[in-house]
Each structure stands twice: as structure tokens, then as C-alpha cells.
Amino acid sequence: MMQTKNIRIAAADLLGWYSDFGVDEALDADPIDRIALAKLKAQTGSAPKPAPVVQEQTAPVARTPAPSRPNVNIQASGEAAIATAREAAKAANNLEELHEALATFEGCGLRRTAKNLCFSAGNPDGRLMLVGEAPGRDEDIQGIPFVGRAGQLLDKMIGAIGMDRESVYIANSVYWRPPGNRTPTPAEAAVCRPFIERQIELANPEILMLLGGAAAKSLLDTTQGIMRLRGRWTIFTAGGKEFRTFPTLHPAYLLRQPGQKRLAWRDLLAVKTALTEKTD
Ligand code: URA
């Protein structure tokens, strides 16, 4: 009796710990065919353990080699999805059409676990465009980028250089929330990339700021970390147009490492100076 109680307390503690770290979905990295598992359970009367057990029990006794994981097909379907994304993004003549194209785009697996598509926030005519990583929990619920804690800090950051959501345009390099707020995979980033490229091209900002390593790596197509990339001007090209681009630290990182705010402040001042110089 006492032991059961202790196990319950330990399980509740563990769940609490996961929840504190933002884990709110019970998902695995690899898909599990739960229909097959349920059928198997009905046949055998016991619940098999996920992946390995399915292979054990469904494979015939005299085995032909189990089909290797279909990497080639996954890759092919990934490439097909990227090709579809490119076509859909290119066909969009304005931001509304791009939003509609994304709303019907099935090529990104994240849309299956997300509640909402998060397309943009702020003013599409703003001189400054900010691109973050991916929606989090609050963004997923509201369908708007940067409305949670990181978004509140972002508002303060842009407020510090005299701007607000009326004067900046905000989007993410991935449009749906990754389960548990994990970093988007390279495949997820790649399939969203034609859309964010087109979004930047159509919004046509004077300056583009990339918030954090995931956005910077995906859009600048580099493996360099944000600490190397931040604080330097670079060029991002979309649809044949060149955009002055400045990578900086992500507000969520600054919430965890407030000591680094001085670097972000330096970056914001550089962007403010560039905007002011252009106006003068
Ligand atoms: N973090 C991001 O990168 N984007 C959001 O929209 C919210 C948090």
C-alpha cells in the first residue's frame, strides 16, 4: 500500500518536472502505429511494448529480412513536400494568398500536432521584420507568433528602440508548434523555408532580424552558431532580392540568460542606427 503511494508520488513528481520543462505532449520521435498495436493487443490479449515488439510479433517465424526503415521514401516524400511548398509559395501573389496556401499545405508533419497555424503578427508594411524559430504553447493556442513570455520580452526589446507591433512585422521560420517546444528538425525547417522566404520577399522589409540560432541557421543555410552569427550584418536573398539581415539572440534565450541582454541591446542599437541612417 505504502509502496503504491510512493510510486504515485514519484510519477506525479516526474510529470511535474516534465511540465516545468515545457513538455505537454506524450509523443515519440518516431511514429507509432497505434492501430496495429491495438489490433495486436486484441489478438494476443496483452499490450506489446511499442516499436521493437511490433516487429518481433508481426515478423514470420522463418524470417525474410525485416524491411529496413524507409529512409529513401521518407527522403523522397520530404523532397516532394519541399517541391510542393516551393510551387505553392511561388504562386502566392501577396501575403493573404501565402497565408491561404499555408493553411491548406499538408507537407509539414507539425500541423498534425499543432492547434493552429501561426502566420504573422504586427505590420506587414513595417520597415523591420523579425523572424523567430517556431510557435510555442501560447502562440499555438492563439495562432499568433510571439504572444507568450518571449513575445512580451520581444515587445520590450523593440520598444527600447522606439518601435512596436505597429511598426514591425513578425513571423517564424516554422509555422506550427513543434511538440513540447522542441527545436524544429532540419526537415521541418526545410519544408517551411519556401514559405518564409516568400513571406520575406512579399513583405519586403528594409531590415530583417533573425532571432536565435534556429532561424539564423535555417535561413542563412549555415551550421554556425548564433554566438558567431549575431551582431554582424549579412545578406539574405529571397526571390532574387537582397535583404540586409542582422542575426541576434532569441528573447527566450535572454529569459534564461538575462546576463546576455547587453549583447541583444548592442544588436538592437545597430539596427536602430541603420534605420535612422536610412531615414536621414
Ligand atoms: N518563440 C519563437 O521563436 N516564436 C514564437 O512565436 C514564440 C516563441
Residue ranges of domains in the chain: 76-279
DSSP tag of 218: H
Q: Ligand 1 centroid vs 65 CA: distance in angstroms?
A: 44
Residue 65 in this model has a pLDDT that exceeds 90: no
Question: What's the confidence (pLDDT) of residue 66?
Answer: 41
**Across the chain, what does the average pLDDT equal?**
86
Relative to the CA of 144, which ligand 1 atom is closest? 6
For residue 139 and ligand 1, the question of a CB distance below 6 A is answered with yes
Q: Average pLDDT in the 43-61 region?
A: 47
For residue 155 and ligand 1, the question of a CB distance below 6 A is answered with no
Per-residue pLDDT band for 42 (boundaries 50, 70, 90) equals confident
Q: Average pLDDT in the 62-86 region?
A: 66
Sorted by sequence, the CB contacts under 8 Å of residue 160 that are 6+ apart come out as 265, 268
Q: How many CB atoms lie within 10 A of CB 243?
A: 19
For residue 205 and ligand 1, the question of a CB distance below 6 A is answered with no
Q: Average pLDDT in the 14-23 region?
A: 54
Nearest by Cα to 148 from 181, 126, 197, 108: 181
Q: Ligand 1 centroid vs 117 CA: distance in angstroms?
A: 13
CB contact at 8 A, 33 and 44: no
Q: Note the pLDDT tens digit of each residue in 247-276.
A: 999 999 999 999 999 999 999 999 999 999
Relative to the CA of 172, which ligand 1 atom is closest? 4
Per-residue pLDDT band for 74 (boundaries 50, 70, 90) equals low
CA distance linking residue 159 with residue 166, whole number of Å:
11
Note the CATH number of domain 76-279: 3.40.470.10
| CB half-sphere exposure, 224, CA atoms < 13 A | 13
pTM of this structure? 0.76
Q: Note the pLDDT tens digit of each residue in 222-255.
A: 999 999 999 999 999 999 999 999 999 999 999 9
